[in-house]
Structure 1
Amino acid sequence: MKAVQLPRPRAFARRRVWILAVAALISVAVVWAYHYPPQHYASPMKDWLPAEPDRELTDEERASRVVFRQILLTPTVHSRRSKVAFMFLTPGTLPFERLWEKFFEGHDGRYSIYVHASREKPDHVSPLFVGRDVRSEKVQWGTISMVDAERRLLANALQDIDNQHFVLLSDSCVPLHNFDYVYDYLMGTNLSFIDSFYDPGPHGNFRYSRNMLPEVTEADFRKGSQWFSVKRQHALMTIADNLYYTKFKLYCKPGMEDGRNCYADEHYLPTIFKMMDPIGIANWSVTHVDWSEGKWHPKAYRAQDVSYELLKNITSIDTSHHVTSDSQKIVTQNPCLWNGMKRPCYLFARKFYPESINNLMNLFSNYTLS
């Protein structure tokens, strides 16, 4: 009989050191992942609901949180039929239908179109837009009717179960990239692109009314761009909400006490999603608007302004930019992170005059190659 050879002590020691090293690396990785999760990650070990205030929640608040939580826990279902809903909020005819038709060309079954015309029935020049009008009501700038129109568009788009992402666009919006890029950008992340930031100045928290208490505190009040892009769960939350919507309907409007002019479309969604799902929003809008002129309305582009250089400059921006409206004018810049990677911020841009359509059509294939 042959004797069984025992393992050499030195080899056993090396193996033991290797096992300990691997265990140490795993421990470090677990600790790092716990303390520094990806931006879009939500830990299943923690309750979704934000920390409750010291006071007792009202019945309406409790009911709203239960509904919101159930919506957010509904798993996202992506299939080959998943679509992006493009929702146009316009006073009448859309001047860039031919440009959008070029954008959508060859992508049937991957998008839906909805048009809310608030003043007059639009005359469509593209067959893609024919029959896509939803029942509309008059919209007055700066009032809750803007939010009503947004919710009306979402309610119509949500009826199609294949619509998984919802983009709000104006009549002066144009695409900055080709369809594949936009589709992959929106469908490839679990974020909603809602702009939300804290502005202590006269165009920010000065607009807050204490009548919103106890449900909305001044510390929760946020400002952001009206032009959002949201995933299906957040779209459902927006049309399901009644409690917070009513607060903004009653206490965020022009001509309030002390000379306050509050505009619900700039504050409603930024505030409720900061409160209810802050890690689920990107804190920037994918629609570029140039406020650098410091006027009541953003910069608008005439035909002579539209060039390849202008459009490529906008598409190259990869940092979100916020400025407070107080005397300090504090500037905050953050990288636009898409699944943890720095990416260009904008997929669309406004405001373009109708006269720029020919320039945009001629440039489209060049500036949307990405």
Structure 2
Amino acid sequence: MSFVDVLSILSDEDIAQTLANVTDEQVASTLSKSHMDIHDALILLSPKAIPHLETMAQLAHERTVQQFGYTMQLFTPMYISNYCDNGCVYCGYSHHSSIVREKLTMDDIETEAQSIAKTGLEQVLVLTGESKTCSPSSYIQSAVERLVKLFSSVSIEVYSLTLEEYQSLVQAGADGMTMFQETYNPTLYKTLHPFGPKSDYEKRIDTPELACQAGFRVVNIGALMGLDEWHREAYKTMLHLQYLMQSYPDVELSVSVPRIRPCAVGFSPEHPVEDISLVQYILALRLLFPRVGITLSSRESRTMRDHLVPLGITKVSAGVTTSVGGHTKQDDSSQFTISDNRSVHEMVAMLEHTGYQPVFKDWQML
């Protein structure tokens, strides 16, 4: 059974009805369990759970410390190309966007990498726009081969590749792969992605599984919160996570929780996610999946990120730019506006002040 088949079992109406019927007693009973599972997800995501957020926060903190200690991984995104063939209506990289288009040469990539390495960071996330013509897999592979000489962990966030292409990237040294489904609503997905390779909903949703099969050490998924009603997106993300965990127990699965941000195309989300809802989602995610990594990007404000550090987050970005080559030059090629522009040094200082140990390197390839 594919994950698309799993999603088809429960309708949006079923999810809404379950959320509406949750009782306070159910929430209290669930929070008293020593172990929670996917069957408890909608209970913890329900409106009835809101009065219990303090208890959820305490439990989430305890379980995070049990699994990860007082540590926080640091990484930074590295944009190497923003040419894109997609018509995504919410993205600054959209084919119709008026942003400056850039593509780094291999020498540019090395210069950018050296600038990042000087900050002490050991983990980078390589991003491109979705254009197989301008950024073929061979280009991405060459970038990875350059970057693994400077960083202990090189992850990718690019367009959907084939199994063989992913395997080649793993052989080149890439150890992590991130892909957001954006929305798990197939009808809305088609509206938001009217043309381009990304418009294939099922191909997109199956791609993280290909990455697991290809041998990536870490595979990271997530929905772009704000595109559809957040309870549904959170629950379906959890279902996706559960599916991958059961199918690929040797892969380290993780989740990002991005909220949509302003960008060059001026898109306004129909379902903006309030701070308290994002907190509830993160707490529920941690309680159901104690060992899963949770990433919080610089899309969130510094105040929000500071407060969320003890509540289940295990990885944060630092020294972020969303422009191509943005660590060494300034232009108008950014994908979206970030909220927290603190440097690596500033993020380290915040974490240490909070009692957390910043982690630059958490594994070594043998």
Q: Provide the TM-score with structure 1 as the length reference.
A: 0.31
| Higher RCO (Cα < 8 Å, 6 or more apart) | 2
Report the structure, 1 or 2, having the larger helix content. Answer: 2
Q: Provide the TM-score with structure 2 as the length reference.
A: 0.31
